[in-house]
Structure 1
């Protein structure tokens, strides 16, 4: 097996990695800038902040649920590199809409600005829906089978490093000027466009595929054709629960940082950034432990450990001494407080164990079926994932309406980790 990092020297992998990295960076830069602006400059109520974050998350997920079946069919019937070029061209227009929304809201036209920003979130969801199946399905086509796990791990690690950098950048730019954010959106969109043009061709394999444009019947047929395979069923269910956990955490983080840890935008970005780099570390660690073998051996223990760290994180947040009334800690003041380093270390541990859990499961999706079916398999996973994440987002809205605090919401996350462990154990028994 080629050393995983050695794949970054290969033209069959580097342009795809770069395109995915820039897309994840820009997506997170925009969404984090929007959430921080709404949390710190528009709303002044923890419930409204959580509701807005849940709404934005749900809007971003909706296209995955509706369009993943079509996206998977297109990716399996067309040259995947051609679709990448079209998607990255669309990203430039999407960022123009998002930038206009941020500027409009900043100028005082809050309602119009929010509508434009949420419209951009919806379009970014469509963008990611059509790119998502390709970034995994193209790997077995460009890489040897023994390198697919390493490539998958690098894509996951790169994604979370990009999220890290996008999150930090959003927090820093928010402290100075949102005009810098607008410029960054556009520069990165153009860079992604040029990177996407360097991805080597990945033409259709297998017989021609007749496209079904009915989003309801195509989704149902796609899921039915995939979930009857036991290991795929268990892998997809496990991944779906993981991303439902992720959706809840992403929704909870900004209000928790502002209202429980009483810290500013940069600390909120720092918390998400620590989580992102932790998943990247976990992606690399699990690839090293498995030595390229696709196995769920470590997934049950990893997600149980994740749940334990989530419970610890909740207790640490409860004991944290907040700033005075109406005041927020800056990042230096926050890190100087007793318990702050422990909170960040626990958050890192949550993310590392999460990365160790989910990366091998994605490798199952692309190696269980024939190469001409990989994009549809990933698309089926995306449909189920998005449905589960939408339910998670709706659950956050309902639970928040009942007065449940962000630190209490973490116990729900811990319980979900236990069920994920059970699913992963069933997958391990079915495959190993």
Structure 2
């Protein structure tokens, strides 16, 4: 089982001039109605439900944990940001270490069988997390340790499920359904994140209810995962390379030498670096700048999630089933402008006196609340419009038997970028930079993403 992958696992480099031609799927006149129709098909619905429940459960648990620590354990914005960065780093670490192995498995084994194994593991992971939640009132140290262990295990779970979620679509869907299916998966994922984060805000002080819920949802995910149709490997099945460093290097180098994939992965990576920074700073921003309680912090994350979902659907309508990076530069520039608007609003915010926090009802009646929500919604919608076509591009550019490995290579680079984003926030807060000032870093990173996306558009469209 030690035979390593060849450097040419993604096939030979495309012939001269290939990258200049658009990567197109057959246009459809059915538009969004055809995409929604996929929800009635067994070749799509069980996978959609499984990933929806998984995203919901991940974010219910993670958000409940972060809100508990932010509002009940720590009272220092710097320490809160550090804890959020550590939790984010633990979740990302498995993507960096194990994505190469997960990509090999997804391309060389039946994807549906891997889904069932991963969903079985989720029940055990949530049992550990639920135990941590239940111990929060009697053994805080042990509680936080178990919850962080569960977050790390959730990262492993997502590492192995992630390539399946995208690689199985070209195998089960028709060519002109891939973009619509990808948009539905992304929209469903972020709607699930919305539901999980908002519910966490209302349940975060009831650890028992959160524990029962995450275990119940894991069981439902296991049931839906068993309904995913078989998706056997399509090409050769080389032996697995369990040397995670060697296989990761080979996986990334075999993908990144193709210019169009290199640019797509870099653009996606910058997006997720931006996302990791925003997720780290949102809870302390809401608590210490907007002086609002955990229900508002949960709503903040929820609005961000539903905005990305709406952006995912909008870009599918604009592109008309044509996989293209045409709108990506403009989308991410607009995202940067929305971040700058949020910085402006936060910088002039008049909050509550120390020791007092706005409730959800009080915050929504604040004169500046509409501006906050508009800025946040703008960031999210533009982000969804930016990233979804790039994921569809990854899965339609390479052969169907290599899509999981391509997504896995993308995950490795993405995770590295997200770790750098988390480290940047930790470094900036250690230097005394406030969470509000950190928004300026996010806006600057949007410019870099726009430049990369423009290069990709010029190369492929």
TM-score band w.r.t. shorter chain: over 0.9
2:143 aligned with 1:113, yes or no?
yes
Equivalent position of 2:273 in the other structure: 244
321, 324, 340: which is aligned to 2:353?
Answer: 324
TM-superposition CA deviations, 1:388-422 (whole Å, max 9, x none): 10111111111110111111000000000000000
Equivalent position of 1:149 in the other structure: 179
Where in structure 1 do 4 or more consecutive aligned residues deviate above 4 Å?
A: none
State TM-score, norm by structure 1. Answer: 0.99
For the residue of structure 2 that corresponds to 1:74, the secondary structure is helix
For the residue of structure 1 that corresponds to 2:233, the secondary structure is coil
For the residue of structure 1 that corresponds to 2:135, the secondary structure is helix
How do 1:15-34 and structure 2 match up within 5 A? 15-34=46-65
Shift of 1:4: 1.2
Shift of 1:106: 2.3
2:163 aligned with 1:133, yes or no?
yes
Equivalent position of 1:58 in the other structure: 89
Structure with a larger share of its residues in helix = 1
Equivalent position of 2:4 in the other structure: none
Shift of 1:259: 0.0
- Distance between the aligned counterparts of 1:311 and 1:132, measured in 2? 32
Equivalent position of 2:42 in the other structure: 11
163, 167, 173: which is aligned to 2:203?
Answer: 173
Equivalent position of 1:95 in the other structure: 126
- Distance between the aligned counterparts of 2:70 and 2:128, measured in 1? 20
What is the RMSD of the two structures over their aligned residues, measured on CA atoms? 0.7
Shift of 1:105: 1.9
335, 340, 344: which is aligned to 2:369?
Answer: 340
Shift of 1:346: 1.2
- Distance between the aligned counterparts of 1:198 and 1:396, measured in 2? 42
2:322 aligned with 1:293, yes or no?
yes
Equivalent position of 2:213 in the other structure: 184
How do 1:28-427 and structure 2 match up within 5 A? 28-107=59-138, 109-175=139-205, 177-427=206-456
For the residue of structure 1 that corresponds to 2:356, the secondary structure is coil
State TM-score, norm by structure 2. Answer: 0.93
- Distance between the aligned counterparts of 1:315 and 1:106, measured in 2? 39
Gaps (5+ residues) in structure 1?
A: none
Gaps (5+ residues) in structure 2?
A: 1-27
- Distance between the aligned counterparts of 1:147 and 1:342, measured in 2? 37
TM-superposition CA deviations, 1:296-317 (whole Å, max 9, x none): 0000000000000000001101
Equivalent position of 2:25 in the other structure: none
- Distance between the aligned counterparts of 2:117 and 2:38, measured in 1? 25
